Amino acid sequence: MTALLPRRGLAQILALIVILAVDRVVSPQFFDLRLQDGRLFGSLIDVLNRGTPVALLSLGMVLVIATRGIDLSVGAVMAICGAIAASLADSHSLPVVLAAALGAGLVCGLWNGFLVAVLGMQPIVATLILMVAGRGIAQLITEGRIVTFSSPDLVWLGNGAILGVPVPIEIALGMLILTGAVVRGSALGLLIEATGGNARASELAGVGTRAMILAVYVWCGVCAALAGVIAAADIMGADANNAGLWLELDAILAVVIGGTSLFGGRFSLVLAVLGALIIQTMNTGILLSGYPPEFNLLVKAVVVLAVLLLQSPKLSGFAGIMARLRRTKP
């Protein structure tokens, strides 16, 4: 699994540590954990729990971005799949609910992949279609209402715990491991990176670049569906207007913080998820600090800027020169 964690994760880990330290300062109980009714509670668990939707989205998004694409529709796909899950929850068993929701995500991904890989549309435009239409579809499913449910199975998916750890966290971790195993355990990772790095050259080398692109959008759709189900399960209802709203931007941000270039090529799943956690740690910290949430956006921007500066080749070139100077000095 070493391939999952490249050498270049230092900036992200440092950033996370710094933010955690700041959180500890604004909220002294930040690292406290307690077990209650067989479930762990505490700010750290809260960060992980609330971070799952974006972490799941970033798992799909990072692959899409690695092929030099982008998927703006994930927030809308969350809304669609959340709406489907909520509508079916009280009348069908959990496997049926999950299959329907994930199947819908898969179809959404296929649609995006079809537009990009087969019709050759620019990803940003192609996925914009579903970003806009998707929310409409979700509203049609919920008939414009907030659909609530009480199915204990689905509620458990959002609020339950296994061995004390909330289920959403375990799902996200499972998806990270599954995605990592599929991508790095097969040749998919290399071929995705090659496709994103130089699609023409990869195609001439015999790589099925279309299939590769189709696959990442499908996976992105499935990840978004799962995030949508968890978000719905969490609030025991589906709000087509607000579910996953703007989360596509957080997912893209997480991927970028994770060091994957929007120009495609090299990607890291672990760092993308770490990016999602950095975002959520900040969000939670600001809430705990008692500052008005408006600050959240500003602070987010500053932290993103800092992480990106740490990654910038110019700056690291500068750091390299400084290091060399120090080394050459006796």
Partner 1 sequence: MENSLDPAPSLLEVRGISKSFGAVRALQEVDFTLRAGEIHALLGENGAGKSTLIKVITGVFPRDAGVVRLGGEEVAPRSAKAALQAGIATVYQEVNLLPNLSVAQNLFLDRQPMRFGIVREGEMRRRAKALLTEFGLDIDVAAPLGNYSIAIQHVTAIARAVDLSARVLILDEPTASLDRHEVEILFGIMRQLARRGIGIVFVSHFLDQVYEISDRITVLRNGRLVGERETASLPRLELIRMMLGRELAETTGARAAANDRPPREICASFENYGKAGYVAPFNLELRHGEVVGLAGLLGSGRTETARLVFSAERADGGQAKVEGASVRLQSPRDGVRHGFGYCPEERKTDGIVAELTVRENIVLALQAKRGLHRPLSRREQDELARRYVKMLDIRPPDAERPVGLLSGGNQQKVLLARWLATAPRLLVLDEPTRGIDVGAHAEIIRLIRELCDDGLALLVISSELDEIVTYSDRVVVLRDRAHVEELSGEAIDVTNILAAIAADGAAMQEARA
Residues that bind partner 1 (CB under 8 A): 185-188, 190-191, 193-194, 197-198, 200-208, 265-266, 324
Q: Cα–Cα distance between 239 and 232 in angstroms, integer? A: 8
> Residue ranges of the alpha helices (H) in 236-312?
247-257, 269-289, 294-311
What element of type H or E holds 91? Answer: none
Nearest approach in angstroms of CB 198 to partner 1 is 4
Nearest approach in angstroms of CB 100 to partner 1 is 28
Nearer to partner 1, 189 or 244 (CB): 189
Q: Are β-strands 165-166 and 147-148 bridged in parallel, bridged antiparallel, or unpaired?
A: unpaired
* Residue 39 phi, psi dihedral angles, 5° rounding: -135, 140
Tell me which DSSP letter residue 240 carries. Answer: T
Nearer to partner 1, 246 or 263 (CB): 263
Nearest approach in angstroms of CB 177 to partner 1 is 17
Nearer to partner 1, 182 or 288 (CB): 182
Are the C-beta atoms of residues 80 and 138 closer than 8 Å to each other? Answer: yes
Nearest approach in angstroms of CB 210 to partner 1 is 9
Nearest approach in angstroms of CB 201 to partner 1 is 5
Which residues, including other chains, have CB under 8 Å from residue 150's CB and lie 6 or more apart?
Answer: 90, 236
Helices 269-289 and 167-185, packing angle to 10 deg: 160
Nearest approach in angstroms of CB 197 to partner 1 is 4
Q: Cα–Cα distance between 230 and 39 in angstroms, integer? A: 17
Nearer to partner 1, 3 or 235 (CB): 3
Dihedral sign, CA of 296, 302, 305, 307?
negative
Q: Cα–Cα distance between 259 and 53 in angstroms, integer? A: 20
